[in-house]
Amino acid sequence: MTRNLPDPATDVPPDEEPTAVCAHCERPFRSVHARDLHVGEVHEAEATETERERYERVIETERDDLWLFHARTVVALGVVYSTTVILYMVVLGQFG
């Protein structure tokens, strides 16, 4: 699928040198990680062999981090749900 949205304008502070820049569209990035992801997502067709390998690697990192993040999300959802139930039981119990 292709994106329908325009490329976003970027704004690098004057005293800062971007950590990474896209070789295809010159978009600056704060991390090599984000640049490698961008190249794989947006320039899939023109990417070089090295860029493809880098993309594979950052995707792997993302997958691991995401697993941890999702585990925490599920715990947070559980806490929110049970807190809400207990809160309702307490409040409604007072009046019941």
- Which residues in this chain contact Zn ion in the complex, by CB under 5 A? 22, 24-25, 27
Q: Nearest to residue 26, comparing CAs of 7, 5, 2, 3? A: 7
Is residue 46 involved in binding another protein (CB under 8 A)? no
- Centre a 10 Å sphere on the Cβ of residue 34 and count the other Cβ atoms it contains: 16
Q: Give me the half-sphere count of Cα atoms (radius 13 Å) on the Cβ side of residue 67.
A: 5
Which positions touch another protein (CB under 8 A)? Answer: 1, 3-6, 8-12, 18, 27-31, 33-35, 37-38, 41-42, 58, 62, 65-66, 69-70, 73-74, 76-77, 80-81, 84-85, 87-89, 91-92, 95-96
